[in-house]
């Protein structure tokens, strides 16, 4: 089980939002490169990066911060990146710069042909992010609900060749209210590609709960506010996840 620290970028700084609201941002660092190096030093095996301005604008906006993050970790830790990625040229440029995985969210729902083309061109490097509430997918920074069922869409995108599905319960993200284990497991059971849980992780109890259902197809969990505010000790969380995974092996 990978415990994946998140770096959300807004105006070149590392922030966390509550339920995706851009105007409700807490700044945790003005040095994204140093933040990335910090997580690497603590034993992170992967990093989750989101260009929040890019997601809002529909095109990359935090290129310098992203470059600093890549430079800080080199080839020591894979980086998965999302936010405002809408064309194949942008994907290629990011992959060439050292990013390992590209996350496509709103664009996958609105223009599934783009996701299909991306998976075809960059097989093994494309993830899809599905943000849902009550089983229905949200788009545009969670500001708009669609009628799409999250399981149906995930199955469709799995057939395209996505590497993994990042599932966020948007009612819990940034709220430190615990992971929606039931919904995450229900989705993972319907898929053959792995699911990465996101939204609501608060403490070691959440890590234990996720590790219990790892065999259902849940490969990791993204954590943001909890590790920045200190309700979750990242190093302890990854050690615990490694220990629990080994005990099942």
Residues belonging to the active site: 8, 131
What is the rounded CA–CA span in Å between residue 201 and residue 179? 5
What's the distance, Cα to Cα, between the start and end of the chain in Å? 12
How many other β-carbons are positioned within 10 Å of the β-carbon of residue 206? 23
Strand pairing report for 25-29 and 13-17: antiparallel
What is the rounded CA–CA span in Å between residue 104 and residue 82? 6
Enter the tokens of residue 15: 């922030």
What is the rounded CA–CA span in Å between residue 121 and residue 40? 30
Q: Give the dihedral sign, CA 164/167/173/179.
A: negative
What is the rounded CA–CA span in Å between residue 169 and residue 147? 16
240 with 226: CB under 8 angstroms?
A: no
Enter the tokens of residue 119: 């998976």
Q: Residue 89 contacts by C-beta under 8 Å, 6 or more apart in sequence?
A: none
């Amino acid at each position: 089980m990978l415990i994946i620290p998140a770096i959300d970028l807004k105006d070149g700084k590392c922030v966390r939002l509550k339920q995706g609201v851009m105007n409700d941002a807490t700044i945790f660092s003005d040095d994204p490169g140093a933040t990335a190096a910090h997580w690497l030093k603590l034993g992170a095996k992967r990093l989750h990066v989101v260009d929040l301005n890019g997601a809002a604008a529909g095109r990359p906006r935090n290129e310098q911060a992203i470059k600093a993050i890549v430079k800080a970790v080199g080839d020591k830790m894979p980086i998965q990146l999302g936010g405002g990625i809408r064309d194949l040229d942008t994907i290629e440029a990011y992959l060439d710069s050292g990013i390992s995985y590209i996350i496509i969210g709103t664009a996958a729902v609105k223009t599934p042909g783009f996701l299909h083309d991306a998976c075809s061109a960059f097989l093994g490097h494309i993830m899809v992010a599905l943000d849902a509430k009550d089983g229905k997918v949200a788009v545009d920074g969670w500001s708009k609900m669609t009628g799409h069922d999250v399981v149906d869409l995930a199955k469709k995108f799995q057939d395209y060749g996505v590497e993994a599905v990042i599932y966020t319960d948007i009612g819990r993200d940034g709220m430190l209210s615990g992971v929606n284990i039931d919904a995450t497991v229900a989705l993972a059971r319907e898929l053959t590609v792995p699911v990465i849980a996101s939204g609501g992780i608060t403490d070691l109890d959440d890590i234990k709960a996720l590790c219990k259902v790892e065999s259902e197809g849940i490969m990791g969990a993204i954590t943001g506010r909890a590790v920045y505010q200190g309700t979750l000790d990242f190093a302890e969380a990854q050690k615990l996840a490694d220990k629990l995974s080994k005990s099942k092996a």
